[in-house]
Amino acid sequence: MRRDDWTKILGWPGYAVYRQEIDEKGQTLKLWVRRKRGNRWLICSGCGRKMAEPADVTEREVRDLPWGKFRTTVVIELYRVRCPDCGLKIEKVEQLPSKAPFSKRFEEVVGEACESASARRVAKQFGLPESTVRAIDLRYLERWSAQRKKPALRHLGVDEIFLGKATKFVTVASNLESGEPLWFGRERKKETLDEFFRTQLSRRQRQRIEAVCVDMWEPYKTSIQEWSPDCAIVYDKFHIMQHANKAVDEVRRAEFFRKGARMRGVVKGKRWLLLTRWVHLSADKRQQLNELFALNRRVMKAYLLKESLQRLWTYTYEGAMLRYLKSWTMQLRWQRLPAFEKLAYMLLDHLDGILNYCRVKVRFGVVEAINGNIKTLLRRGRGYKNLRYLLLKAQRMAATKTEFVVFRKAA
């Protein structure tokens, strides 16, 4: 094979192969490259300034894409430049995006593999340590994030997610229109959301937010009113139904707590049935629920109240929505269901934000889909200590839709 052919097959932009070494037994290939004659300008890696004169020359070795069975290493001749601004700096080379010993295109292949498989599996496939695969993936995602155009933020979603005992709660800010997470913050305090508004958005971006979709959680509300006072706060269906589910669960516990072992046996394992919507239950499961209802009227009432609350979001006129909510509340009379009375007070307390749904149509379910994606990532990746990495991963997932978003049936 001629030199030229090596250069053509390697296809390293602007560089030519001048030496090669094949180890047939070890199945490795090593190629030495240097700049092609026409490729003259040197770029400072510090500031991007173009320069003609090199200061000195050095070499770097990186792993590149394999040639068939041959694991390939490329040795690149590199120049250092004396930059007026940065001093002595190495030149910038497109295929060498970081100090790590891998070419850009090798990192891209590894990063792409990480999109559909766990780091552990990719590590095995490429014969690399798992930590190296994660580091490559992170750089791959950072590059992707840096070059893409970010969609405008008009509808903001704020939610919290529990990331296990070590990290605990994380606040997730997301763009409800593009369906991607924007930022993670530790804990779920007012200061957490304050930090998002302060560090992630410009004053103009904050003013452009039309609506924020959030749970009935005072610290978030206070923060939103402070940073984006003109936007509409919308309490979303999902969170409200979560509260309703909690109320059903409280009724169940109160009703069966002191009923003896036999009764507890009947309720055992029925918890999730009570939290599932009737339309999502099979005939068999419905039968099971009916048996439970025959034993306890109050649990049945609680279930029906939860089911009928769903209908609140079928209204598009504030007046009608309000009327429905009032009649729903009226049904609580004489029922002696303290958990639901508490819920009703909560809803009336947050009436404006509930009715706001009639004024600004935000996409419900997006926040839950994002949460679902994050949980999928966590299950697959077994703990992300680096929240930045988890965020980029979830963003990429939303942008490429590699994972099918699963809406939780409970909502």
Binding residues for Zn ion, per CB under 5 A? Answer: 44, 46-47, 49, 83, 85-86
Measuring CA to CA, how many Å separate 58 from each of 34, 45, 289, 343, 375? Answer: 11, 15, 75, 70, 46
Q: 83 or 377, CB closer to Zn ion? A: 83
Closest approach of Cβ 92 to Zn ion, in Å? 9
Minimum distance, C-beta of residue 13 to Zn ion, in the bound complex (Å): 22
Count the helices and strands in the chain (H runs, E runs): 18, 12
Residue 299 to residues 118, 287, 363, Cα–Cα distance (Å): 43, 15, 32
* 89/243 with CB nearer Zn ion: 89
Residue closer to Zn ion, measured from CB, 16 or 93: 93
Residue 340 to residue 322: CA distance in whole angstroms:
18
CB of 103 to Zn ion, least distance (A): 23
Of 49 and 259, the one with the shorter C-beta distance to Zn ion is 49
Q: Which of 206, 204, 196 is nearest to 229 (CA)?
A: 206
Residue placing its CB nearer to Zn ion in the complex, 50 or 323? 50
Q: Least CB distance from residue 56 to Zn ion, whole Å?
A: 16
Sequence-ordered alpha helix ranges (H) in 63-168: 104-116, 119-126, 130-147, 164-167
Nearest one of 270, 243, 241 to 255, comparing CA atoms: 270
CB nearer to Zn ion: pick between 83 and 325: 83
- From the list 276, 256, 275, 258, the residue with the least C-alpha distance to 266 is 256
Token pair in block for residue 3: 């030199």
Helix (H) or strand (E) holding 5: helix 3-10
The minimum distance between CB 98 and Zn ion, in angstroms, equals 18
Considering the complex, what minimum distance in angstroms separates the CB of residue 164 from Zn ion? 43
